[in-house]
Each structure stands twice: as structure tokens, then as C-alpha cells.
């Protein structure tokens, strides 16, 4: 059962349930307490210990039903027991045709099993052979034939072929019966491999799909991929949260100051009863984010807002603003509402308008310039296209002078900067960091680098 549980954990990760080593240990301890005889109790125990949300609970329940729809791999039994089972089964009424009730001596175990028509025994043998063939390693649909052959070989297909040749010459009727049973076995093995593909290939397919999405231009995401991209951005936000939201104890405490420790403990002969630590001062994180949600970046503004939402969960002091032709503060909306609700409200207020960076910067200078301190990192997410209006680069210069650094994340390719109504070259003069963020991977790296400077 332990091996089965390890395979189940792998299948659970494939359906999007995050199973850490600690959680898998908890689940195995719970299973040890409740046992495996009652399938409903086993299901509840795994869902309680592994699922962290309603969505994960539903996905894990479906995964459990699919995974445990096949019998447990049977344990090897003594040879005498294996010989008795088909012999008894052969006396059943199902084999009452003339010549079929008699079974020649020397048939392989697989041949006897197929002739006995014991479905439970055959299913358990398939499960055992699947484990021996490492079916949990299947990743692609093109591997179905390979794993089907491995399972059949593990069950003794080669010996069965020899039996068929001998029976064809001595007992054609029994050979025909065995051949039909072999065809049914092949079909059952194909079904088992398809089930394994559905269970174990999801994680690989998900990773491949995510890798493609991570490197796909955000502005060219198709409508059918928007939901998948949002899910990917949420994963990025979760990673940022797990990586940076809890400072390490060593970082808080600092490093041992050997000289001060020895001096402080001179009275005790140098025995370090009292310790002294070197603490490196780190600025308290303070971020101001300005997000362009105008029509020119409508395709990527959702993803920008999702990243800003994640910043509010990672850094304590974040003030966020959104703008098109004018600028408003959206910090309270992002902190108090879910990402979907927050984005809908923000876009209804200032989204999809005609971008006017100059007017938006004027709004920021009039009402929010006092929020900037020498410890503030200002992040601007936008394409710097101001529709040939006054860009007010002088205000951006003053923002840069008042803050610790100014970071600009632009979703457009660098070749487009400075062409048409793009004011990026002018704005870049006053920025500490200018980065192209056309993909989810570039966004994650940029935000991660910004947050990491405060750790």
C-alpha cells in the first residue's frame, strides 16, 4: 500500500494538488490509523490531509476514484495455491463445452488464469504487472504501446504464445478459447495503460503547457488561454509568497560576532555563555506600483494587476495605483477583495481608456508624491505610449529623485521602444532598472528580483 500511496501522491500533483513531503507523511500516518479496508474512510482521510481548498478537494476526489478503480496489486502466492485456483475454476459450469473442461498439464500460470475466467484474479495480475512495468512513469500518449508490451511481458506473454502453439496442434478448441481470452486481456491492458496515462501524464502535460505559457507573449495570449495564464500567474504569486513572506530566522538574528562574544565572556574563561550577533540593517520594504490599464495594454493589464495583488501578500507596505487617462489609488481594493473582484472593479473605473501618462503623472504628483521616501521602490508597469500627448518626463525625474529606485516593466519588445508615440527612451533616462516583461517568466523574474533586495 505504501507504493500505491506514493503513486497516488504523484497522480494528485498531476491534477494540481500541491503535495509537500510533510503532507505526504501526514497522509500516510492517517492511512495507517484508519486502514485501507473501508474505501470511503480512506478517501476521506486522504482528502482531509492533502486538500487545502474546495477546488483541490474536488480534483483530489476525482483522482482518488480514478486511481483506486483498479484492484490492489496482488502479492505473490505459493506455487501450489496458484495451481489450485485455475483447477477449481475449470470445474465451473462456464467451461462445460466438450473438450473445454479438460485442461492439458504444463500450461503456464497466465494460460490457466485466462482459462479460469476469474476477473478479479486477472485484474489483480494486471495491477501487479503494471507496478512491475513502472506504469507510473508514463508521460506521453505515444508511450501507450511500449507500456502495454511491458505489462504483457511481465505477465508471461512469451510463455503463453508457446502454449498457444502447442494447443493449436493438440486441442484446437481450447486454443481458440485461449486466443479469445488473450484478446480480451490485451484490451484490458490497453484500458489500464490509458488510465495510467490519465493519472500520471497530467503533471508532465501541465508542466509542458505551463512552460509554453511562461514564455508566450502576454499580448498574444488567445482567449481560450486566458484562464490558464491567470492560473499560472497565481502559481507565480504563490511561489513569491512562499519564498519571501517569511524571513528566515538566521536573517533576523544575524551572524555570530566572534570577537564581541569572546570579550563578553572573558569573566567565564572564554566559555560563551553570552553570544553577540552581527546584524546587517535592511530597509523595511516599501513599494509603490503604478499600473497602466489603458486600451493599449488591455491584453496584459489583468496579469499586471494579478502580480500587484501578489505583492500585497508578500510585502507589508505596498501602495498601488492604476491609470489610463487619470490615476486612482487601488490599494484598498487589492487588499480587501479577491483578484477577480479587484480586477473587475479597477477596470470598470479606469480600464480600457486612452492612455495619458502625462496627466496620470500630474495626478500622482498632486496627491501622492508625499508617499515617496528614500526607502521606496517605485514600479511602473506600462508600455509608455502617451498618444502623442505631453509625457511630463520632468515629473518622472522628480519621482526618481525622491525614491530609492525607479523600475519600469514594459510589455512591449525593445525594438518597439521609441517608435510611434512610445516615450520609453525618454522615461528610461530616469529609471534605475528598465526591463522588458512581455512574458510571465520575465514578469516573475522582475518581481522576484525586486522583492529579493529587501530580504
Question: Alpha-carbon distance 188 to 405, whole Å?
Answer: 64
Mind listing the pLDDT tens digit for each residue in 333-388?
A: 988 888 788 888 998 999 888 899 999 999 999 999 999 999 899 999 999 999 99
Q: What is the mean pLDDT of residues 6-24?
A: 82
What CA–CA distances, in Å, run from 229 to 224, 233, 297, 382? 10, 6, 16, 19
Q: What is the pLDDT of residue 72?
A: 47
Q: What is the mean pLDDT of residues 383-399?
A: 94
- Cβ-count burial 217-246 (b if 16+ within 10 Å, e if not): ebbebeeeeeebbbebbebbbeebeeebee
Q: What is the pLDDT of residue 139?
A: 78
Q: What is the pLDDT of residue 380?
A: 94
Q: What is the mean pLDDT of residues 47-60?
A: 86
**Rg for the chain, CA atoms, rounded:** 33
Residue 441 pLDDT grade (very low, low, confident, very high; cuts 50, 70, 90)? confident
Q: What is the pLDDT of residue 363?
A: 95
| φ/ψ of residue 14, rounded to 5 | -65, -25
Q: What is the pLDDT of residue 80?
A: 37
Q: What is the pLDDT of residue 402?
A: 94
Q: What is the pLDDT of residue 243?
A: 67
Give the count of beta carbons closer than 10 Å to the beta carbon of residue 31.
20
Angle, alpha carbons 102-108-113 (nearest 5°): 70
Mind listing the pLDDT tens digit for each residue in 59-96?
A: 888 888 878 775 444 444 434 344 444 444 344 333 33
What CA–CA distances, in Å, run from 5 to 10, 11, 25, 41? 9, 10, 10, 15
| CA distance between the termini of the chain | 43
Nearest CA to 127 out of 38, 37, 188 is that of 188
Q: Kindly write down the DSSP assignment for every residue of 242-297, as one continuous string.
A: HHHSS--HHHHH-EE-HHHHHHHTGGGTT--SS--EE----PPPEEEEEEE-SGGG
User: Grid coordinates standing for 42?
Assistant: 480512506
Q: What is the mean pLDDT of residues 32-49?
A: 89
Nearest CA to 291 out of 265, 250, 329 is that of 329
Q: What is the mean pLDDT of residues 380-397?
A: 93
Q: Is the pLDDT of residue 399 over 90?
A: yes
The DSSP element (H or E) to which 33 belongs, if any, is helix 21-34
**Per-chain mean pLDDT for the chain:** 81
Residues 6+ away with beta carbon under 8 Å from 240:
310, 314, 444, 447, 448, 451
What CA–CA distances, in Å, run from 452 to 55, 82, 409? 31, 63, 17
Of the chain, the percentage scoring pLDDT greater than 90 comes to 24
pTM, full prediction:
0.58
What CA–CA distances, in Å, run from 71 to 11, 127, 224, 294? 17, 7, 38, 57
Question: Alpha-carbon distance 404 to 95, whole Å?
Answer: 87
Task: Evaluate whether 129 touches 155 at the Cβ level (below 8 Å).
Answer: yes
Question: Alpha-carbon distance 319 to 254, whole Å?
Answer: 29
Q: What is the mean pLDDT of residues 108-135?
A: 86
Residue matched to cell numbers 530597509: 283
What CA–CA distances, in Å, run from 205 to 130, 131, 137, 201, 224? 21, 22, 13, 6, 17
Nearest CA to 187 out of 148, 154, 150 is that of 148
Mind listing the pLDDT tens digit for each residue in 284-342?
A: 668 899 999 998 887 788 788 877 877 777 777 889 999 999 999 999 998 888 878 88
Mind listing the pLDDT tens digit for each residue in 174-221?
A: 889 889 989 999 998 998 888 888 777 776 667 777 778 888 888 777
Q: Is the pLDDT of residue 400 over 60?
A: yes
Residue 410 pLDDT grade (very low, low, confident, very high; cuts 50, 70, 90)? very high
Residue 428 pLDDT grade (very low, low, confident, very high; cuts 50, 70, 90)? very high
Question: Alpha-carbon distance 31 to 303, whole Å?
Answer: 40
What CA–CA distances, in Å, run from 20 to 27, 225, 245, 431? 11, 28, 18, 40
Q: What is the pLDDT of residue 98?
A: 35
- Cβ-count burial 361-382 (b if 16+ within 10 Å, e if not): bbbbbeebeebbeeebbbbbbb
Question: Alpha-carbon distance 327 to 364, whole Å?
Answer: 7
Residue matched to cell numbers 503623472: 361
Angle, alpha carbons 343-347-349 (nearest 5°): 125
Of the chain, the percentage scoring pLDDT greater than 70 comes to 85
C-alpha 86: how far from chain center: 47
Q: What is the pLDDT of residue 254?
A: 64
| φ/ψ of residue 399, rounded to 5 | -65, -45
Q: What is the mean pLDDT of residues 34-40?
A: 86
Q: Is the pLDDT of residue 104 over 80?
A: no
Mind listing the pLDDT tens digit for each residue in 230-252?
A: 777 777 777 776 666 545 444 45
Residue matched to cell numbers 483530489: 60
Q: What is the pLDDT of residue 52?
A: 85
Amino acid at each position: 500500500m505504501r507504493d500505491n500511496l506514493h503513486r497516488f501522491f504523484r497522480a494528485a500533483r498531476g491534477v494540481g494538488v500541491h503535495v509537500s513531503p510533510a503532507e505526504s507523511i501526514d497522509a500516510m500516518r492517517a492511512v495507517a490509523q484508519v486502514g485501507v479496508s473501508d474505501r470511503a474512510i480512506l478517501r476521506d482521510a486522504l482528502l482531509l490531509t492533502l486538500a487545502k481548498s474546495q477546488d483541490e478537494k474536488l480534483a483530489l476526489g476525482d483522482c482518488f476514484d480514478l486511481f483506486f478503480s483498479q484492484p490492489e496489486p496482488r502479492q505473490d502466492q505459493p506455487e501450489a495455491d496458484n495451481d489450485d485456483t485455475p483447477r477449481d475454476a475449470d470445474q465451473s459450469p462456464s467451461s462445460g463445452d466438450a473438450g473445454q473442461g479438460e485442461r492439458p498439464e504444463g500450461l503456464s500460470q497466465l494460460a490457466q488464469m485466462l482459462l479460469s475466467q476469474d476477473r478479479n484474479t486477472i485484474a489483480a495480475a494486471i495491477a501487479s504487472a503494471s507496478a512491475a512495468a513502472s506504469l507510473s512513469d508514463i508521460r506521453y500518449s505515444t508511450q501507450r504501446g511500449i507500456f502495454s508490451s511491458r505489462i504483457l511481458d511481465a505477465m508471461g506473454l512469451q510463455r503463453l504464445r508457446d502454449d498457444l502453439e502447442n494447443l493449436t496442434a493438440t486441442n484446437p478448441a481450447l486454443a481458440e478459447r485461449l486466443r479469445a481470452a488473450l484478446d480480451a486481456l490485451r484490451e484490458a491492458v490497453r484500458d489500464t495503460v490509458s488510465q495510467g496515462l490519465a493519472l500520471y501524464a497530467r503533471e508532465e502535460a501541465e508542466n509542458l503547457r505551463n512552460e509554453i505559457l511562461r514564455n508566450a507573449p502576454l499580448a498574444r495570449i488567445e482567449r481560450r488561454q486566458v484562464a490558464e495564464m491567470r492560473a499560472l500567474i497565481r502559481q507565480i504569486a504563490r511561489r513569491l509568497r512562499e519564498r519571501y513572506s517569511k524571513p528566515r530566522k538566521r536573517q533576523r538574528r544575524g551572524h555570530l560576532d566572534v570577537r564581541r562574544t569572546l570579550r563578553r565572556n572573558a569573566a567565564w574563561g572564554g566559555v560563551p555563555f553570552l553570544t553577540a550577533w552581527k546584524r546587517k540593517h535592511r530597509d523595511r520594504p516599501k513599494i509603490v506600483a503604478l499600473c497602466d490599464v489603458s486600451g493599449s495594454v488591455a491584453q496584459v493589464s489583468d496579469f499586471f494587476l494579478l502580480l500587484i495583488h501578489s505583492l500585497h501578500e508578500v510585502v507589508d507596505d505596498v501602495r498601488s495605483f492604476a491609470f489610463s487617462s487619470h490615476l486612482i489609488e487601488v490599494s484598498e481594493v487589492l487588499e480587501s477583495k479577491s483578484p477577480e473582484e479587484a480586477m473587475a472593479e479597477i477596470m470598470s473605473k479606469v480600464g480600457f481608456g486612452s492612455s495619458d501618462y502625462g496627466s496620470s503623472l500630474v495626478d500622482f504628483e498632486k496627491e501622492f508624491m508625499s508617499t515617496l521616501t528614500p526607502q521606496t521602490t517605485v514600479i511602473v508597469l506600462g508600455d509608455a505610449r502617451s498618444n502623442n500627448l505631453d509625457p511630463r518626463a520632468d515629473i518622472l525625474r522628480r519621482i526618481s529623485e525622491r525614491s530609492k529606485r525607479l523600475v519600469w516593466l514594459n510589455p512591449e519588445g525593445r525594438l518597439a521602444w521609441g517608435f510611434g508615440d512610445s516615450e520609453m527612451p525618454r522615461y528610461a533616462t530616469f529609471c534605475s532598472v528598465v526591463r522588458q516583461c512581455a512574458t510571465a517568466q520575465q514578469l516573475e523574474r522582475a518581481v522576484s528580483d525586486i522583492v529579493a533586495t529587501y530580504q
